[in-house]
Structure 1
Amino acid sequence: MRPGKRRQLDLNNRLDAIFNQIERLKAGIRAKVEHPLRVLKQQFRYTKTRYRGLMKNTAQITTLFALGNLWMARKVLRKA
């Protein structure tokens, strides 16, 4: 649902309140998915891809996601 449509919802209306809650849940899931992708794009400069073969692309993405997990856990790893 577009933000303008969501602002127009009447939260006193039961159906609109349910729609609003659904949109909040979807936004939370979207945020959890987008954060690792942002790490790949910003920290590792993975903004453009080129075809290198399916195996090479898969290996590169897998490695970058592993590095992204380490990057997001770096504060916890430093304390240990």
Structure 2
Amino acid sequence: MAAVRDNRDQNRFELDTEGGLAFANYRRTPAAVIITHTETPRALRGRGIASELVKGALELIRADGRKVIAGCGFVVDYLNKHPEYADIAG
């Protein structure tokens, strides 16, 4: 699967899929990234693509030395199910 990338011009993390683009919109603060919305192409929902997107976004946020703030329910649920990201959860 393709790697998640940070499209800073559009303030979103992106993941190319065979059926289109999955993305997670965000806002940056000096110390954190607030993920405000995640979206997966409708035909591809339920296949774990949004989880792959959020995982990649969290790895990029961690590598950047920032915290993440979950501004949408999907990210809240993901963080609750993946305690390995507790160190960056803001």
Of structures 1 and 2, the one with the larger relative CO (CA 8 A, separation 6+) is 2
Higher Cα Rg: structure 1 or 2? 1
**What is the TM-score when the length of structure 1 is the normalising length?**
0.28
Write 1 or 2 for the structure with the bigger share of strand: 2
**What is the TM-score when the length of structure 2 is the normalising length?**
0.26
Write 1 or 2 for the structure with the bigger share of helix: 1
